[in-house]
Chains A and B, each alone.
Chain A
Amino acid sequence: MSQQYPALLVIVPLLSALLISIAGWVNKKLCFPIAVAALSVAALSSVGLLLRVLDEGVVLYRLGGWDPPFGIAYYVDHLNGLILNVVSFVALFNLIAAKKSVEQEFPEKIGPFYTLYVLMVTGLLGIVVTGDAFNLYVLLEIAALTGYGLLAMGEDRAPLSSLNYLYMGTIGACFYLLGVGYLYIVTGSLNMVDIAGILPNLYQSKAVLAALIICMVGVWLKMAFFPLHAWLPNAYTYAPSAASSLIAPLVTKVMIYVMIRLVLTVFTPKYAFDTLVISHSIVWLACIAIVMGAILALAQRNLKKMLTYVIVAEVGYMVGGFWLGNRDGMTGAILHIVNDALMTLCAFLVVSNIVYKVKGHKFEDLKGLFRTMPFTMGAFVVAALSIIGVPPTCGFFSKWYLISGGISAGQYGFVVALLFSSLINVILFFRIIEIAFYEPFGNDHAHTSQPECIKEAPLTMLIPLLIVAVGLVIVGVYTSDIVTHIIQFAIPKGIL
């Protein structure tokens, strides 16, 4: 059984998605349990897989028994072992929290929603687990197409912004495919490890350079790396709560994983950092992304939209940290994939609780929420502190590594950009906290005790949120273990 984890990870959700779509016709109540079961299997498999990787090192799985480079191979090492866990657990927690809000927002579309949801998670897990560059493209499209569907289910402007995302996402995926095509032309292989073995003789080839750049542009488009971010804010803002809290934490992070995988495994760090001299420029691009993301977030008057711009800034953190090219920077980037997925999940779950109760996510909808939804807002404060980077929440520790990497690489621009964004985050989040805490101002507020009127979201939404919020602190405290046991091995030995 344990030999089959990599396959289970993808096959079980894939088949369950079919099952859910059938169940949707028969009895809508069956959809949710099937989805939970499927994602639980995926989550358990990813835990099992990570434990095996920690034990034995890289796990190679031949799909259908075909040997690479001709068959599709799944490689699981420390890097994607970690990311698999993030993806599967975030998806599972969000699924449980989503039940009530799905029932409230579109009771007639329960079947299609869960089908698309599970199918999308299949795609994301597949992207992370696969060791085949073309297979990755296929799974990328699965995740993207289901994502467009999920996002389009939202408020009135959702179909339009989802269509916009579809155009941009398709262009991004095409770029990636084009890059892979170049690689196939020069190497004759689609297996990542195989390509990496053939490439060193071709480092002088212009085609390889073109492949790298085209792939990167494609991936950047998909991860909303400024200035290729324009599709993201609207698509996520108008999406249904349950969909945005799946897609916002995971899609950009998985694409960052793809970038890291391409550079570390396919093109190899030696080529990307030593032969080419592009890493400095990319770090500067990341600085611009961070600063612009922060400034644009400041201009919003809508909580959900503000958070989407925070994501844009966070993408800059990870891209910049990775392209610093030193061990601290890469550790920070990989750690931040984990942390940012959790923080964003926490923040978006808060939004979905708020939307569930007050039917809005504009700033003026947030008045008095500390009184009516104290637990949700408590979780929001934890998420805010983590995004700001206050110890002992996890956001502090990835920022620690990122800044440390910036200092030892001598990239002080990146350090300043990170600090600037932290300061802006203080303003962003305390502005929200202020609205929820002070307003509406009473006449004789100070000396009268107002009646307690707690109107919290249902427990199935609240408990996953609180677990995630506590998780932000726990993951932070266990940073040292994550780094020494997992991330350290995910970064090639040559990088200091």
Chain B
Amino acid sequence: MEVITSIKPLLAVLVSLLVVPILISSTRPNVREGWTFVAAIAKFLIVISMLPTILHGNEIVCTVAEVIPGIAIKFRVDALGMLFALVSSSLWIITSVYSIGYMRGLKEHSQTRYFCFFALCLSATIGVAFSANLLTLFLFYEMLSFATYPLVVHHQDEEARSSGRKYLLYIAGGSIAFVLPAMLISYNLAGTLEFSNQGFLAGTGSKTLMLILLLMFIFGFAKSAIMPVHSWLPAAMVAPTPVSALLHAVAVVKVGVFSIIRILTGVYGINLLASLNLGIVVCYIASFTIIVASLIALSQDGLKRRLAFSTISQLSYIILGVALLSPKGMAGGMTHIAMHAFGKITLFFCAGAIFVATGKKNISEMVGIGKRMPVTMVAFFIGALSVIGLPPCGGFISKWNLVLGTLQADQWPMLVVLLGSSLLNAAYFLPIVYKAFFCTKEESLFEKKIEEAPVWCVVPLAVTAAASIILFFYPQPFFGLANMAVKSMLGG
């Protein structure tokens, strides 16, 4: 393994930050959106250009500045970070297309602000993905918290305000009250915050202290929406749908999960977790979330709220997979970052397209909608299959590995959780699709005339749906990256 010093990670973070002044000052919407695409494509190309190096087993590092003596703002691109950066930077391009269709379709106000903060969020997301130490991760994590706030409360009404409060309470409150002290205690114990493949906390404190710190990290990174710090996510659904799609199905929530993976693998290390039996504690917390969130999702009538609870449950799959500490389980969990992203973003795109075309938000009002919006609902079906974890969709690959992981780790209860939850997933997704297509004339709430959302909305959701299927047949580079990450974390 070689360590290559390059400025590319910094560029990948900065490119969307640098475009913000241009976005603010551009007076014509078309020019503004043009620059968003420039930034999104540039970011994707920079990330892609690092991929071959990573796939060859190398790492790219870039030290920006030493802000506290001994602790620098530093980037390090490894397989896991690459996986996450690839997912979020590629989906940003698609979401930008979708945003144009959605925001213009609804004639939303303050579109400049919207696109600016979107760009900021993506900078922060890539920053988290490429962080080399806990301080850098914390910095970008916080940046993301505050940059998403204006997006969540975009509508600026009473409902947005109360959701915004909840959002800040959980996310900023969690990171200040739990992550910050936990980080400082770790620093005092170990004298470093640098992520390493074997972790840096081994042999520094008693088991009780390690357990308390772990819980502080897991619940402090509330973006992962693990129960009981999950309730900001359904509340955040007041945001415009592209925000829910990219940020609250991909970027923000997965930053939370990603941070927890870093804590488990880069701060604690697999060996320490295994020797102190802490992995299983995390498994139980995660499986509780998986089951309870799925059950709640069953009873939600708001489509976006149902998707939100589904997201809460799916995020914990990822945590569960990594916490199993078995090679297959970890690889499955990490791959699920990508697979769930493509599936869930499709579902959100569909929800937004339905809202733009018909103004409907509730599932009970969507009977027969498949005849009105066939493309959208087919895409919805594919996205749902992927999230449930059925072939021929990408979600199957990750869930298959998760199941194998539970066997490898000899954790029968977790196997039951995974299978039970899959049934629940099917139970809350498939009726929507069924009712959309198969209903009597009397039941149908829509005319038979085909009338889709604007093409800017439909193309992105068709693309992500197609991607979900392609990922089943060709799960690279995500699956490969996940396996590489697992290999290095387990010690070669």
Contact = CB atoms under 8 A, between A and B. Distances in A.
B142 A423 contact: no
A407 B157 contact: no
A415 B68 contact: no
B1 interface: no
Contacts of B419: none
Given A446-B108, A476-B67, A483-B68, A403 B156 contact: no
A480 B188 contact: no
A363 interface: no
B238 to A, nearest CB: 10
A446 B109 contact: yes
A448 B68 contact: no
B67 A477 contact: yes
Contact of B156 (A422, A445, A479): A445
Nearest to A431: B165
A484 B172 contact: no
Contacts of B109: 445-450
A390 B158 CA distance: 27
B161 A419 contact: no
B177 A407 contact: no
Contacts of A480: 65-69
Interface string B171-199: 01100110011001101100000000000
Interface string A409-441: 000000100010011001000100010011001
Given A390-B146, A450-B109, A423 B66 contact: no
A415 B181 contact: yes
A481 B393 CA distance: 52
Nearest to A484: B69
Given A390-B146, A419-B177, A437 B156 contact: yes
A306 to B, nearest CB: 18
Interface in A448-496: 448-450, 476-477, 479-480, 483-484
Chain B interface size range: 35 or more
Contacts of B22: none
B161 A423 contact: no
Nearest to B173: A423
Contact of A390 (B142, B165, B177): B142
A407 B185 contact: yes
B138 interface: yes
Interface string B138-158: 110011001000000101111
A434 B66 CA distance: 35
A415 B183 CA distance: 13
Contacts of A408: 188
Interface in A104-122: none
Interface residues of A: mostly helix, strand, loop or mixed?
Answer: helix
A419 B173 CA distance: 10
Nearest to B139: A391
Contacts of A441: 156-158
B181 A400 contact: no
Interface in A338-395: 385, 388-392
A407 B69 contact: no
B170 to A, nearest CB: 11
Contact of B67 (A397, A426, A446): A397
Residue among B108, B143, B168, B181 with most chain A CB within 10 A: B181
B155 A445 contact: yes
Contact of A407 (B65, B66, B188): B188
Contact of B161 (A390, A422, A434, A479): A434
A487 to B, nearest CB: 10
Nearest to B70: A480
Contacts of A479: 67-68
Contact of A426 (B160, B168, B185): B168
A265 interface: no
B56 interface: no
A135 interface: no
Contacts of A407: 181, 184-185, 188
A403 B187 contact: no
Given A408-B188, A449-B109, A389 B158 contact: no
Residue among A390, A423, A434 with most chain B CB within 10 A: A390
A446 B135 CA distance: 38
Contact of A419 (B73, B135, B138, B176): B176
Interface string B111-150: 0000000000000000000000001001100110010000
B292 interface: no
A125 to B, nearest CB: 30
B164 interface: yes
A29 to B, nearest CB: 36
Contacts of B161: 434, 438
Given A426-B172, A480-B68, A403 B142 contact: no
B453 to A, nearest CB: 17
A477 B161 CA distance: 32
A392 B67 contact: yes
Nearest to B145: A390
Given A385-B146, A404-B188, A480-B65, A438 B177 contact: no
A445 B161 CA distance: 13
Contacts of B449: none
Interface string A255-298: 00000000000000000000000000000000000000000000
Contacts of A419: 176-177, 180-181
Contacts of B188: 404, 407-408
B184 to A, nearest CB: 5
A448 B106 CA distance: 10
A286 to B, nearest CB: 18
Nearest to B72: A480
B28 interface: no
Contacts of B184: 400, 403-404, 407
B7 to A, nearest CB: 17
Nearest to B109: A449
B355 to A, nearest CB: 13
A387 B10 CA distance: 27
B107 interface: yes
A446 B155 contact: yes
Given A391-B138, A426-B173, A479-B68, A445 B157 contact: yes
A434 B67 contact: no
A361 to B, nearest CB: 22
B66 A403 contact: no
A446 B158 CA distance: 11
A483 B138 CA distance: 21
A423 B176 contact: yes
Contact of A430 (B73, B168, B176): B168
A459 to B, nearest CB: 17
B67 A438 contact: no
A388 B149 CA distance: 16
Contacts of A448: 109
B108 A477 contact: no
Nearest to A408: B188
Nearest to B141: A391
A430 B145 CA distance: 13
A404 B165 CA distance: 29
Contacts of B155: 445-446
Residue among B73, B109, B155 with most chain A CB within 10 A: B109
A391 B168 CA distance: 16
A476 B164 CA distance: 27
Given A391-B138, A434-B164, 15 more contacts: A385-B146, A389-B180, A391-B135, A391-B142, A392-B67, A397-B68, A400-B68, A403-B184, A407-B185, A419-B177, A423-B173, A423-B177, A438-B161, A477-B67, A479-B68
Interface of B: 65-69, 73, 106-110, 135, 138-139, 142-143, 146, 153, 155-158, 160-161, 164-165, 168, 172-173, 176-177, 180-181, 184-185, 187-188
18 contacts: A389-B180, A390-B142, A408-B188, A426-B176, A434-B165, A437-B153, A438-B158, A441-B158, A445-B109, A445-B156, A446-B108, A449-B109, A476-B67, A477-B67, A479-B67, A479-B68, A480-B65, A483-B69
Closest 7 CB pairs of A and B: A391-B139, A446-B155, A480-B66, A449-B109, A390-B142, A422-B176, A407-B188
